[in-house]
Chains A and B, each alone.
Chain A
């Protein structure tokens, strides 16, 4: 199923050369908020990434999940910012159900391979694990 936010991202990346794509990711990372130092803990960090990545979630009163994130590498942070543009502030079940087709469509599919050092696969897995816990906890 097509999704407005993902379609928007695909459009933003359409026709861009690699360097322009990376520049766009770096600028997205710069616009994203920095995570408070106190939350950059081992518990919130994701292993399997060459750069440091932290993710933390909180559930709103309506049950939607909000994620905060950070990374010390700009391109990695930029990629997470796109993933969370799609998944942030959604209900846990929606997070589990959404097919992140935009990753392939903007040419980052190889970044999803578990062998890739940016650990995008681990990041998405962590986000879904959190959603799964929330979904089973609230059912």
Chain B
């Protein structure tokens, strides 16, 4: 297997004089040279504001921006690029859908899973929706038999993969159930887009959200896929670039995607997503899945073999994150000690307090993997855990 670490300059860095073992990829992934260079090259040679410019650089920037949209559209299997709008990230994407659908959602019910990130909980509450959970079993499998859709259910919103557990939810089946009742579905793909092939046509969802920075592109850019049948919904944000006619009495809006992109977008960010997608496609999402699965399963098995370690969640498919606790040791102490060994993990509630409550813990240690992690990284994690325990002995 190729050593993908070579593609990521930051991974050659030492921290505290030790090889960096970066296992905080569910928070954000590092950037490959091709992405860093593309951003720098764009600002050096091609940069201008996009759309409606009459000059050379504006044409060039617009072309590159729209090409990035096309790449995203192909990458997620959208029926056309107009279904892809750029946002500032998953959180922004979900908030935009919440605001656009607010008149329908207010006082009604939104069905969420029991493993959601706060960004798939709070936006719905903010527009006055009532949240109901799809229950889960003790391994954190969502219980589809318990999915109950009522007349009041106006949306089903669910993460493809959990940012805490790495569990992959059966989004296709849930989407099917919702669709049978004519209820739209939003998929939060923030934790799956970098690990698994994601195809909106195959899933059948109406909305899909993800972030650039978790899939090797830059921060500040995200994607919202909106099925074309929602092309006429009220945009969540108003401003320049998204209007057809403006008078002081009334405004009409453009069709998507520009309808959903008020103001100057993160042009370089969008281009970086396009380049990151090229990078992923060159390796192949199936290969990425296969390689990552080997490392992920190895790491998980090693943790499961250890006494005094509780690993949370166990679903048929898993990717990305592994959450665990060491008996009698606070997750924060564990994280601090591992940091000094050059091991970057995250500790705490991972923006998923309802899930933590249901697991009966305040927080966990989370090691999360990306395409450049190796079995050696997993061995280092185990070594880190042993060191933490030794220091608490």
Contact = CB atoms under 8 A, between A and B. Distances in A.
Q: Do A and B bind each other?
A: yes
B337 A72 contact: no
Contact of B330 (A18, A22, A74): A74
A3 B330 CA distance: 32
Contact of A117 (B337, B340, B347): B347
A72 B362 CA distance: 10
B348 interface: yes
A26 B347 contact: no
A73 B330 contact: yes
Contact of B347 (A18, A50, A52): A50
Interface in B311-335: 330, 332-333
Q: How large is the interface on B (under 10, 10 to 19, 20 to 34, 35 or more residues)?
A: 10 to 19
A75 interface: yes
Interface string A74-91: 111000000000000000
A108 to B, nearest CB: 11
A7 interface: no
A75 B331 CA distance: 11
A117 B348 contact: yes
A49 to B, nearest CB: 9
B340 A75 contact: no
A26 B333 contact: yes
B391 A51 contact: no
Which of A18, A50, A74, A76 has the most chain B CB within a 10 Å cutoff?
A50
A55 B314 CA distance: 38
B336 A75 contact: yes
Given A19-B340, A19-B391, A75 B348 contact: no
Interface string B347-369: 11000000000000011000000
A73 B325 CA distance: 13
B391 A26 contact: yes
Interface in B367-393: 387, 391-392
A110 to B, nearest CB: 11
A21 B391 CA distance: 11
A103 B32 CA distance: 37
Contact of A18 (B16, B332, B362, B363): B16
Contacts of A74: 330, 333, 392
Interface residues of A, number: 15
Contact of A50 (B16, B332, B337): B332
Contacts of A75: 332-333, 336-337
Given A73-B333, A74-B333, A117-B332, A22 B340 contact: yes
Contacts of A73: 330, 332-333
B391 A22 contact: yes
A104 interface: no
A76 B334 CA distance: 12
Contacts of B348: 50, 117
A72 B333 CA distance: 10
A14 interface: no
Contacts of B340: 18-19, 22
Nearest to A23: B391
A55 to B, nearest CB: 17
Contact of A118 (B16, B332, B363, B387): B332
B336 A51 contact: no
Interface string A115-130: 0011000000000000
Interface in A1-59: 18-19, 22-23, 26, 50-52
A116 to B, nearest CB: 10
Nearest to A20: B391
Contacts of B387: 19
B366 to A, nearest CB: 12
Contacts of B362: 52, 72
A56 to B, nearest CB: 20
Interface in A60-100: 72-76
Contacts of A76: 332-333
A74 B333 CA distance: 7
A26 B330 CA distance: 12
Contacts of A19: 337, 340, 387, 391
- Which 3 residue pairs across A and B have the least CB separation, nearest first? A73-B330, A18-B340, A73-B332
Interface of B: 16, 330, 332-333, 336-337, 340, 347-348, 362-363, 387, 391-392
15 contacts: A18-B16, A22-B336, A22-B340, A22-B391, A26-B333, A26-B392, A50-B363, A72-B330, A73-B332, A73-B333, A74-B330, A74-B333, A75-B336, A117-B347, A117-B348
Given A26-B333, A75-B332, 8 more contacts: A18-B340, A19-B337, A23-B391, A50-B348, A51-B330, A73-B330, A75-B333, A117-B348
